[in-house]
Amino acid sequence: MLHITPAITIADWELTETFMRASGPGGQNVNKVSSAVELRFEAERSPNLSDPVKTRLKRLAGRRWTNEGALVLQVDETRSQLRNREIARERLADLIRQALVAPKRRIATKPTLGSQRRRLAAKANRGAIKAGRGRIQDEE
């Protein structure tokens, strides 16, 4: 069980962990020990997440979202398989927490009358400056 919030927990059947050999430091161990973890969360089938949350999670996941509706996280930061598992689960929980926050709706506002007048006055002033840059006429 993965606890996201007090109300939301992810069941073990929704998570699949596979282990593979990681690249990077590790010496002779790197060719023998499968320390990297790939965590797969079946987000589309999850009964614990609402549809708007799933939509936001899909947008946040980007390329980590598969065509089948699963979220795949790969972690090979440490030499310890256990620590990599913890990091992957923390990242999944953070992503889901971010998806739970609904964005605020933008409220359209109107420019004030004073700001409109100042803008038009500045435009007229700038136009007068540019109009004064014309070619000088010879008066002979």
What percent of the chain has pLDDT above 90? 28
Average pLDDT estimate for 119-134: 94
**Which residues contact residue 24 at a Cβ distance below 8 angstroms, ignoring those fewer than 6 apart?**
30, 76
* Mean pLDDT in residue range 121-139: 88
What's the confidence (pLDDT) of residue 77?
84
137 Ramachandran zone, left/alpha/beta (phi>0; psi -120 to 50): beta
4, 17, 26, 133: which is closest to 72 by C-alpha? 17
Highest mean pLDDT of the ranges 20-24, 75-79, 95-99, 123-127: 123-127
Looking at per-residue pLDDT, the higher value among 38 and 140 belongs to: 38
Dist CA 67 CA 69 (whole Å): 5
| CA–CA separation, 117 and 129 (whole Å) | 18
Residues 130 and 52: their CA atoms lie apart, in Å, by: 53
Mean pLDDT estimate for the chain: 87
Mapping DSSP to helix (H, G, I), strand (E, B) and coil, where does residue 34 land? coil
Give the model's pLDDT for residue 24.
Answer: 66
Domains of the chain: 2-100 (3.30.160.20)
Instruction: Specify the pLDDT at position 26.
Output: 64
- How do residues 9-67 score in pLDDT, each as one tens digit? 887 888 888 888 877 666 666 677 788 899 999 888 888 888 998 899 889 888 989 89
